[in-house]
């Protein structure tokens, strides 16, 4: 039976990651995607709070209804963690109340994935400016996850992140890694990653959790569906 995970995806960046995954894994999961509205494409806290506003998510959620999803993911890390630990849950709950479906977000998915894997010490390879990325580190800390290494790259827009190549993403992951870290986290759904997970993990010899990867995993988990898929890294194994 095919599970349908509806995606609320802000603007444009790496949205093609998801149909490419669908084509690769066949009938295991459907990933209908709705682009939510964006005021300003900027990795800046005020812009991100607007990006993740209840109105923008509600409008997108209505557009997902015809796809009859089993679960829904707010496929955005920065537009969820800037609301804080409690705020991110309230954000997801607002969509859940509207659609009467299980709903989560990419930020929550990172913590759930680490919990499922029994990991608590991580390196963070963030594309964002540092003043935004520290909110992610704080969010992880509230979830019992210690950030032992922290790399930021000051990329200001999702559009720019979407242009990063496999080699550039591997370089980001390896530069953030440290022996203390049990996994490396890459928190940006605007970054392509779903085709490169095996290469990313081979580069550091440990699990690498990317935003688009944990988004799909969490959508399956909250839908009560199997989460074992090949070619999607240690999390899906």
Task: Output the domain CATH number for residue 85.
Answer: 3.40.50.12500
Quick: pLDDT tens for 23-75: 888 778 999 999 999 877 666 778 888 878 999 999 999 999 999 999 999 99
164 and 230 housed in the same domain: no
Domain that residue 45 falls in: 3-105+213-236
114 and 99 housed in the same domain: no
158 and 125 housed in the same domain: yes
C-alpha span between 196 and 61 (Å, rounded): 29
pLDDT value, residue 230: 85
Q: What percent of the chain has pLDDT over 70?
A: 95
**pTM of the full predicted structure?**
0.94
8 and 99 housed in the same domain: yes
Higher pLDDT, 132 or 91: 91
C-alpha span between 49 and 117 (Å, rounded): 30
224 and 191 housed in the same domain: no
Sequence-ordered strand ranges (E) for the chain: 3-10, 29-30, 33-36, 71-74, 103-105, 121-126, 146-152, 183-186, 208-210
Phi, psi of 226 (to 5 degrees): -60, 145
C-alpha span between 189 and 187 (Å, rounded): 7
78 and 132 housed in the same domain: no
Tokens for 141, please give them. 């800390």
Tokens for 46, please give them. 């005020």
C-alpha span between 105 and 214 (Å, rounded): 9
Average pLDDT for 180-190: 93
* Cβ count within 10 A of residue 123: 26
Phi, psi of 45 (to 5 degrees): -55, -45
Residues contacting residue 233 through CB under 8 Å, at least 6 positions apart: 197, 198, 200, 201, 207, 208, 209, 213
C-alpha span between 77 and 186 (Å, rounded): 10
56 and 146 housed in the same domain: no
pLDDT value, residue 212: 95
125 and 164 housed in the same domain: yes
- Is 80 exceeded by the pLDDT of residue 162? no
Q: How confident is the model at residue 157 (pLDDT cuts 50, 70, 90)?
A: low
162 and 200 housed in the same domain: yes
C-alpha span between 220 and 214 (Å, rounded): 10
Number of domains in the chain: 2
Residues contacting residue 174 through CB under 8 Å, at least 6 positions apart: 203, 204
- Is 60 exceeded by the pLDDT of residue 156? no
What's the chain's average pLDDT?
A: 91
35 and 121 housed in the same domain: no
SS3 content of the chain, % helix, strand, coil (to 5): 50, 15, 35
pLDDT value, residue 26: 79
CA gyration radius, the chain: 16
125 and 95 housed in the same domain: no
C-alpha span between 98 and 175 (Å, rounded): 42
200 and 230 housed in the same domain: no
Average pLDDT for 138-156: 86
pLDDT value, residue 42: 64
């Amino acid at each position: 039976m095919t599970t349908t995970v509806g995606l609320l995806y802000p603007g444009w960046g790496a949205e093609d990651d998801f149909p490419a995954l669908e084509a690769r894994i066949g009938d295991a999961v459907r990933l209908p995607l709705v682009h939510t509205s964006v005021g300003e494409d900027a990795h800046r806290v005020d812009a991100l709070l607007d990006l993740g506003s209840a109105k923008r998510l509600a409008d997108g959620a209505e557009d997902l209804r015809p796809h009859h999803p089993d679960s829904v993911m707010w496929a955005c890390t920065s537009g969820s963690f800037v609301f804080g630990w409690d705020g991110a849950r309230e954000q997801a709950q607002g969509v859940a109340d509207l659609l009467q479906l299980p709903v989560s977000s990419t930020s929550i998915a990172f913590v759930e994935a680490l919990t499922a894997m029994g990991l608590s010490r991580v390196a963070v390879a963030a594309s964002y400016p540092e003043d935004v990325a520290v909110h992610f580190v704080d969010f992880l800390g509230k979830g019992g996850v210690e950030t032992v290494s922290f790399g930021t790259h000051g990329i200001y827009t999702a559009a720019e992140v979407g242009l990063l190549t496999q080699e550039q993403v591997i370089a980001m992951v390896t530069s953030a890694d440290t022996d203390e870290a049990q996994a490396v986290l890459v928190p940006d759904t605007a970054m392509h990653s779903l085709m490169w997970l095996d290469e990313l993990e081979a580069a550091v010899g440990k699990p690498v959790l990317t935003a688009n990867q944990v988004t799909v995993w969490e959508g399956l988990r909250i839908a009560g569906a199997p989460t074992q898929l090949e070619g999607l890294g240690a999390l899906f194994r």
